[in-house]
Chain A
Amino acid sequence: MAAPKVAVVGAGVVGLSTALSVAGAFPACSLTLLAEHFSPGTTSDVAAGMLIPHAAPDTPIHVQKQWFRETFTYLFAISNSAEASEAGVHLVSGWQVFKSAPEEDLPFWSDVVLGFRTMSEAELQKFPQHRYGQAFTTLKCDCPPYLLWMEKRLKAKGVQMCTRKVASLWELHSEYDIVVNCAGLGARRLVGDQQLLPVRGQVLQVHAPWVKNFIRDGDGLTYIYPGINSVTLGGTREKESWSLCPDPGTAKGIFGRCCSLEPSLRAARDVKVKVGLRPSRGSVRLQREVWSQAGAKILVVHNYGHGSGGFSMHWGTAKEAARLVGECIALLQGSSSRAKL
């Protein structure tokens, strides 16, 4: 049979990494990536890209851990290579501090990151309002560089990338055999998934190049993540807020909270305010379906709903999505051989 025609919808961290994973596993496929927005206009571009998982409620912990470990291992190798600066992937060390003792001593990811340990009394003195802390080293994927690097690798593999607003997956049935849905929050409209809701995050990106360590409050709301060309200050978690408009009051609040954690930020310059809507769901939707209607058929693989965990889990879910694409290809080959009989 002719090479399967696969379309990946979505060009955020999940869409691009899924396309890379599929291209790597099935080089014979003809692969196209379709998206309404490319970097720097995606939700991923707003995120700091820190590999610190935020446990999703409905996915078994061992699965989240496996996806995180696969992602960490993959990025660790990139960070250690000559491509690290172009890919925007780098190691960063720092502290997660708590005002009151956290529920669990050891988060599920503590043995995946590097050098995880409890903070010493001397280290905690830097955070007078916090009584407990964890120190570790993890990875950060700076965007746009990471997304642009993936786009470059896709082009090198012959993957076509097109700006296109897909109104319904059905419209693709005549051009493609398999559609991989990595549309993030867009999947709500695209496939009518009411479980998918935005969790609004506002951040500040500032020039403060002397900040070399990350600091995160264990409540997940206040964080300082040093990137290559700016430091990301966050944040908010506003459930079901759809507004992409930066809020000045929120910006002041974020700045104030971060300066409490790191007073030297008062000297930060070039403050930019950004907003992203986390595509949140009880669990990532990773499954395949057969859509048929009046004789037409497309095989659909879903890979969306990563919420706060897009960067932390992306490579693990990309590999799983590629595996599901493999099952689709086998189905196609099975039905085409049946058709020949």
Chain B
Amino acid sequence: LSRRLWNKETFEYLLGHVGSPEAEEMGLFLVSGYNLFKEPVPDPVWKDIVLGFRHLTPRELELFPGYSYGWFNTALMLEGRRYLPWLTKRLMQRGVKFFHQKVESFQELFDQGADVVINCTGVRAGDLQPDPALQPGRGQVIKVRAPWVKHFIITHDLESGIYNSPYIIPGSEVTVLGGVNQLGNWSEENSAQDHRAIWESCCRLLPALQDAPIVEEWSGLRPVRPSVRLEREAVGPGRSEVIHNYGHGGFGITIHWGCAMAAARLCGSVLQERLPLRAARL
């Protein structure tokens, strides 16, 4: 399964960086925590990718009334707020140019002379090329100041589906409370109803959160797709090559590096094929 491979590649790549001097600037660090279930479930496919995976003991489960089964493991945090600027800085150091502009079509880029376009447009990829398989998975999060929380706590409700059950994730500056995943909902406005559901369910998990000051609240759209679209496609009359890399749902950070390398390999193939053509143009 490609997804498991990309997950493994990403984890190992980041784990290799977690001891480096860059880790803090990248927003990268190790964090341990709990996955909670209301009934026994099979072990996840990623159990050997993360560190120290094990089942929860009865005393640990006492911490979480209502949950009767779970996992403990050490995983990686990669905070987008720090990672994106770090990546941007590295790209700029390599001479990559950034343009803040709205792209209306792939063709306009080929007309401007692009040899290949890599499409990482996420949830709005359908604007460039209709994709009925892609839909938003709306999420809302409450960010609080709760620095005593040192573990992630992720609950699972097999009926409501993934990311649709309360979770608590301690970041380097704020702790993120969440747990909604509304398929097909394009609204990026915070919903009072979701706020109440997230707040109440997370405070039930960790009663001390009631005293935690709320710092921010935010809604976003996961780019949900049955599978990640990672493939090349010849488009338009010129049969120009687009490499698609979108549809990562709620696990983009988790598999991004594996996907990036796969997209880079596809890019390499495309450029290789086009070399004779470019030479012919000169």
Contact = CB atoms under 8 A, between A and B. Distances in A.
Interface of A: 80-86, 88, 90-94, 114-115, 117, 119-120, 122-123, 126, 135, 137, 142, 209-213, 226, 228-229, 263-264, 266-267
Interface string B187-206: 00000000000000000001
Contacts of A114: 57, 59-60
B211 A263 contact: no
A264 B18 contact: yes
A119 B21 contact: no
B183 interface: no
A209 B23 CA distance: 13
Contact of B19 (A93, A115, A263): A263
B23 A263 contact: yes
A81 B207 contact: yes
Given A84-B208, A212-B32, A264-B19, 5 more contacts: A80-B207, A115-B72, A137-B32, A213-B31, A228-B147
Given A82-B208, A83-B208, A84-B208, A210 B150 contact: no
A228 B170 CA distance: 12
Given A81-B208, A93-B32, A114-B60, A209 B172 contact: yes
A266 B172 contact: no
Contact of B150 (A81, A86, A212): A212
B124 interface: no
Contacts of A266: 21
B151 A120 contact: no
Contact of B211 (A85, A92, A93): A85
A213 B20 contact: no
A85 B30 contact: no
B127 interface: no
B29 A211 contact: yes
B52 A212 contact: no
Given A93-B150, A114-B60, A266-B21, A123 B52 contact: yes
B217 to A, nearest CB: 20
B63 interface: yes
A267 B27 CA distance: 12
Given A135-B52, A212-B32, A228-B147, A264 B24 contact: yes
Interface string B63-104: 100000000101001000000000000000000000000000
B265 interface: no
A117 to B, nearest CB: 7
A84 B207 contact: yes
Contact of B74 (A82, A117, A123, A263): A123
Contacts of A123: 51-52, 74
B233 interface: no
B60 A84 contact: no
B24 A267 contact: yes
A212 B63 contact: no
Contacts of B30: 126, 212-213
Contact of A90 (B59, B72, B148, B172): B148
Given A263-B20, A267-B25, A209 B74 contact: no
A210 B51 contact: no
Nearest to B174: A209
A209 B150 CA distance: 10
B54 interface: yes
B54 A115 contact: yes
A101 to B, nearest CB: 19
23 contacts: A80-B62, A80-B63, A84-B206, A85-B212, A86-B211, A88-B148, A90-B149, A91-B63, A93-B72, A115-B56, A126-B18, A126-B19, A209-B147, A209-B172, A209-B173, A212-B29, A212-B32, A212-B150, A229-B147, A263-B19, A263-B21, A264-B18, A267-B21
Contacts of A119: 52
Contacts of A88: 148
A84 B148 CA distance: 8
Contacts of A263: 19-21, 23
Given A82-B210, A82-B211, A229-B147, A210 B29 contact: yes
A117 B77 CA distance: 23
Contacts of B206: 84
Contact of A115 (B60, B77, B170): B60
A209 B31 CA distance: 11
